[in-house]
């Protein structure tokens, strides 16, 4: 029973240490600095922010572009 408890505690410490190391790495390399830039980096001129471009054949009339999102967001993604 003691070996089982020691193994469980060792695993928990290893997992916790890995999580802390990952968080330290994320702060050190500025991974957590600008979430909005990462969220909008997938959009380009062919698929602008706020415009639905994915449709099934025959359903084009069902999707209308939502211009309110584009009006409320500036280029950097911050609300006006």
Residue-wise pLDDT for 20-31, tens only, equals 999 999 999 988
Looking at the structure, tell me whether residues 26 and 49 fall in a common domain.
Answer: no
Looking at the structure, tell me whether residues 40 and 65 fall in a common domain.
Answer: yes
Structural domains of the chain, count = 2
For the four alpha carbons of 4, 9, 15 and 18, in that order, the dihedral sign comes to: negative
pLDDT at 41: 72
Q: What is the mean pLDDT of residues 16-44?
A: 86
More confident residue, 28 or 78: 28
The mean of the pLDDT values for the chain is 76
Q: What is the mean pLDDT of residues 5-29?
A: 96
**C-alpha of 62 from chain center:** 28
Q: What is the mean pLDDT of residues 33-60?
A: 72
- Could you give the 3-state DSSP secondary structure of residue 73? strand
Going by the DSSP 8-state scheme, the letter that residue 60 receives in this structure is G
Looking at the structure, tell me whether residues 41 and 26 fall in a common domain.
Answer: no
Looking at the structure, tell me whether residues 40 and 79 fall in a common domain.
Answer: yes
Looking at the structure, tell me whether residues 27 and 57 fall in a common domain.
Answer: no
């Amino acid at each position: 029973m003691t070996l089982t408890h020691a193994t469980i505690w060792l695993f928990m410490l290893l997992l916790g240490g890995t999580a802390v190391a990952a968080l330290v790495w994320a702060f050190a390399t500025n991974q957590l600095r600008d979430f909005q830039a990462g969220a909008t980096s997938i959009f380009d001129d062919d698929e602008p922010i706020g415009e639905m471009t994915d449709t099934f054949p025959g359903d084009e009339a069902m999707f209308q572009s939502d211009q309110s999102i584009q009006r409320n967001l500036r280029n950097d993604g911050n609300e006006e």
